[in-house]
Amino acid sequence: MRVLVTGGTGFVGSQIVAALVRRGDTVRVLRRASSSLVVLDGLEIEHFLGDVLEPEAVARAVTGCDLVFHAAAVASYWRAQREQVYRVNVEGTRIVMAACLAAGVPRVVHTSSVAAIGIPRDGRPADETAAFDAVSATFVYADSKHRAEAVVLQAVARGLPAVIVNPGAVYGAGDHNLISGSMVLEFARRSVPLVPAGGLCVADVEAVVQGHLVAAERGRVGERYILGGENLTYLEIATDICAVVGRRPPRATVPAWTLPPAALAVDALNRLHIGPPVVSGEQIRMAGLNVFYDSAKAVRELSYPLLPFRRAVETAYRWYREHGYLN
């Protein structure tokens, strides 16, 4: 089988590539000339130079493919301009879906995010039927991924056999862009006394990759599947990470009511700062919420494995040590 992976030099995309190579597929990666290849080292793949915003490059890459995984996106949204996030995540998706339709690709899997589903209103884990909420619509990453899903569903309505998967916050080996993995490094380098009061749906990258592969085989066209793992508070997340990296866990949480004014201060500082922000006001605002999700549909229909968070942290920490991030 000939398979294209957009975003194949990123975290989740590169792990999809590695899994496809292991099972014997012919794998193409659409990438920019400047992309780091650290996570693709030693893999026998076809390199197509280009960008998801370049229709001709995308058209060349999808031609002759039996399957396309569209995993390209701006995930480190706090380091990017708002316009870039929408351009890549929404318009890039539009270009990829149009190319797949034109080429008659038999199967497409679109990597979305639980952020596109929205924030649970009643505190209970949300499933795929949750309504996208007004707060999430103000959050650039969530809104861009929600709009990208709408683009995919428009293509489905025109006959594209596409499936959507919604990973949680993904941890594991290979996160060289330091998306979720930045938390592992932060706790490995120093003791952190306080964490926010909210929580996240966290997932092991190995489970997320398996979810992608099975979604390609038997996911229902036009459906979305949450690929999560454990729903943990930030204090529980920090405690697990500290147990792995050998640090004392945080002793308390920052009250949720303090986060909105802190976010305003961070936004003001970022406007004065030259260069990509270390953290954004959006991240701080969201950190006081319990953003939990239910993976039952993926478990039921895709035999999705719910792997423990501690395992993902262990593999992430080992990968960072082996690749010199802690030297």
DSSP class per residue in 92-128: HHHHHHHHHHHHT-S-EEEE--GGGT---SSSSPB-T
pLDDT in tens, the chain (327 residues): 999 999 999 999 999 999 999 999 999 999 999 998 999 999 999 999 999 999 999 999 999 999 999 999 997 765 668 899 999 999 999 999 999 999 999 999 999 999 999 998 777 899 999 999 998 898 899 999 999 999 999 999 999 999 999 999 999 999 998 889 999 999 999 988 888 888 999 999 999 999 999 999 999 999 999 999 999 999 999 999 999 999 999 988 887 767 776 667 666 666 666 666 656 666 777 777 889 999 999 999 999 999 999 999 999 999 999 999 987
CA distance 297 to 318: 31
CA distance 103 to 125: 38
Give residue 273's pLDDT: 62
Three-state SS for 27? Answer: strand
Give residue 120's pLDDT: 80
Give residue 255's pLDDT: 77
Of 86, 141, 234, 304, the active-site residue reads 141
State phi, psi for 268 to the nearest 5 degrees: -65, -45
Give the tokens for residue 82. Answer: 């708002």
Give residue 287's pLDDT: 72
Predicted TM-score (pTM) of this structure: 0.93
Give residue 236's pLDDT: 96
How many other C-beta atoms lie within 10 A of the C-beta of residue 55? Answer: 16
317 is catalytic: no
- Measured at the CA of 235, the angle between CA 230 and CA 240, to 5 degrees, comes to 60
How many other C-beta atoms lie within 10 A of the C-beta of residue 34? Answer: 6
DSSP assignments along 45-87, one per residue:
-EEEE--TT-HHHHHHHHTT-SEEEE------GGGS-HHHHHI
- CATH classification of 2-173+203-229+292-306 is 3.40.50.720, yes or no? yes
